[in-house]
Copies of this chain bind each other. A is one copy, B any other.
Amino acid sequence: AMIRVATQDAFSEAVASAKPGDQIVLADGTWQDFDALFQAEGTQEHPVQLTAETPGKVILSGQSSLRLAGNHLLVSGLVFKDGYTPRSEVISFRRDSEALANNTRVTNVVIDGYSNPDRTQRDLWVGLYGRNNTFDFNHLSGKLNAGPTLAVRLDTAASQENRHRIRHNYFGPRPVFGSNGGETLRIGTSHYSLTDSLTIVENNFFDRCSGEVEIISNKSGGNIFRGNTFYASRGTLTLRHGNGTLVENNLFDGAGAPYTGGVRVINARQTIRNNYFKDLTGNRFSGALVIMNGVPDSPINRYHQVVGAVIENNTFDGVAAIELGEGSDAERTATPVNSVFSRNLVVGADGGSPINLYDDMGGVAFSGNLSSAAPPAVIAGGFDLRQNLTPSGGAFLAMIDGAGASGTYGVAKDQTGVSWYPKASEASPFEGGRDIQLQPGTDVLFTALKTAEPGDHYTLAPGSYRESKIIQVDTPVTIASRGGDVAVLSFERSHLFVLTGNGSLALGGLVVSGDAAPDGSGNSFISTSSIRGSGNHILSLSHIRVQDFDVNRGFSVVSAAKGSFFDRIDVENSDFENISGAVFKLDEETDDYGIYNAEFLSIRDSHFKMIGGPIAAVYRGGRDESTFGPHVDVTGSSFETVANGDQPLMELYGIQKGSFTGNTVVGAKPIALTFTTGLPVFTSSGNTIDGATQDAFADIADERNR
């Protein structure tokens, strides 16, 4: 029977009496704080269904979640948004550890931006338990908080060898998380990784899934990844634990985006065939193909040796790096054995060979490959040179003489997810809004930004803008002086702007004075919120002058709250003078869990004078190798009397990449740089220190156990 329900109580009653073939229909509208438990017994021919009156018109919001338990259930048409789960999962294929769902399908469901506002709070959007479940044609986009978007759990016998199918889903953008725990998909955990999952992941579209180094973390055996598209996604499909997985017919299209990679191979009997790797810029852990060294007699949570890998008939079209023996160090000494690398077509991005060897590849048989440039001599016998080959650009390379992939790869975006919910835009967050003119006065910005819409541009006529309240910015906006003139901002509270939610700021041509700020420590021009602020913020400062930030101690320009994250802070052509604290204070994550406050800090063509703290304090603790950042780049800038002249110019702890080039420094101590994990790179050149050319201007402490 079809039972339409309009209240949570009615739903519970309908579930309690549901029989095979029944269809429980949720009434259109918003279901607030709906703690739904759908436990029932259907049959293969007559599942018990939970559907929407109109697909896409049934919204579960606030503190809602859905638990499934029983057999032969079918769920479709629901949308989770405007809230987050109070449980450890949004959709759970179990009631609790005692009642799982089997033979159950969830389809045509949307989970959009349903992230815990405290991004350090860990949850799953989908937890697959039980056996023989199908998750297909769903749309999962914009997870910002800790924990994989979807995870297959193998934690009891009843969830192992599960043969789940994860098909035709749209995985929308997952921005950089800024720590381990930003996977889009995880299958298993190290503890159960020698168990087979037998999950099939096919024809899904991964759109900018860039949470961390693992787009997918495969941690069980016998899985198949087939026909998926990975578009502009940082990191790799990582075969982290478990054996005997097949990766075929996938398209890895980096679109030239940074850190885009392909497949990272670890463990035994992994097969990588007929995949197309295109325009991937990543190297090292994020190469187009990465074969890791193992740890001899590895514990279950470290790196098992690559044994019996088959890498064949793949096309590498314009890739930056194929890394062989990656991770080789004092611990990871077990090189791959009994493996083959055959009939692959390799075209490097820049004319040279993308193949790098970090250890002995004697255990890999190279044969029948074609390459546009000579690979390292020791493996060159397995390659024929075709120096006329170049990256295909918009097109695809066909198989040549039996080398490379053929047939179709990946899936079109519109073949995934649902038709009735829009997929994520690629437009700049700072575009698409209104143009608004403002005149000088008191609380002008506070009043204007109360009704801000995404992409709004506020243009300030010259004059003085005095703000008596903190302005919460929860959407991307641009605030700039009218061309050629200058608006002067001052503020009476501890901060002028606090970024929350999706708040981002592009500021141009402004003077910012701290002279009206309160006489307390720890003021800043721009701060963030840890609780309301799950979003990935972007901050751009162009032609800004910041002055008189010295009423009390620790006055910063930008200070990140613990648990908040900036995708980027870009500073150019700006001046900073009389600042009592750290200019960019991004060091709140001191717990050494690998969390940090900003992915990129870029400063160029700017001037700093009379600064009480360091220019930048950046802290990324922990020893995991899960992130590409933080990055700090400083170029073409000048520094005069920083950190009172007796402390470091910058304090950079645990950053992964950095540069200091073409700068002029007077009266400051060298950058304090601490390497803690990963393969950090810091370059320094063209600097003038106290009148003399001095390229190296950093005290480097290397705490890595290498």
Contacts and interface: CB of A to CB of B under 8 A. Distances in A.
Interface of A: 86-88, 96, 120-122, 146-147, 181, 189, 442, 466, 468-470, 492-494, 518-522, 529-532, 553-554, 562, 588, 590-593
A529 B592 CA distance: 20
A591 B521 contact: yes
B146 A96 contact: no
A590 B582 CA distance: 14
A488 to B, nearest CB: 15
A531 B470 CA distance: 15
A122 B590 CA distance: 25
A64 to B, nearest CB: 12
A535 to B, nearest CB: 15
21 contacts: A86-B469, A87-B468, A87-B469, A87-B493, A88-B492, A88-B493, A88-B518, A96-B442, A96-B466, A96-B468, A120-B522, A122-B518, A147-B520, A189-B519, A522-B591, A530-B531, A531-B531, A531-B532, A553-B593, A554-B592, A562-B562
Contacts of A122: 494, 518, 520
Q: Is the interface of A mostly helix, strand, loop or mixed?
A: loop
Contacts of A590: 590
Contacts of A468: 87-88, 96
A205 to B, nearest CB: 28
Contacts of A121: 493-494
Contacts of A591: 521-522, 554
Contacts of A529: 531
Contacts of A120: 522
B86 A470 contact: yes
A621 B394 CA distance: 58
Contact of A181 (B96, B520, B593): B520
A159 to B, nearest CB: 15
A639 B391 CA distance: 65
Nearest to A519: B189
A422 B219 CA distance: 62
Contacts of A86: 469-470
Given A96-B442, A181-B520, 20 more contacts: A86-B470, A87-B492, A88-B468, A88-B492, A88-B493, A88-B518, A122-B494, A122-B518, A147-B520, A189-B519, A521-B593, A522-B593, A529-B531, A530-B562, A531-B531, A554-B591, A554-B592, A554-B593, A562-B588, A590-B590
Contacts of A522: 120, 591, 593
Contacts of A531: 529-532
Nearest to A147: B520
A88 B518 CA distance: 8
Nearest to A593: B521
Contacts of A442: 96
Nearest to A88: B492
Q: 8 closest A-B pairs (Cβ-Cβ)?
A: A531-B531, A521-B593, A86-B469, A122-B520, A87-B468, A88-B492, A122-B518, A522-B593
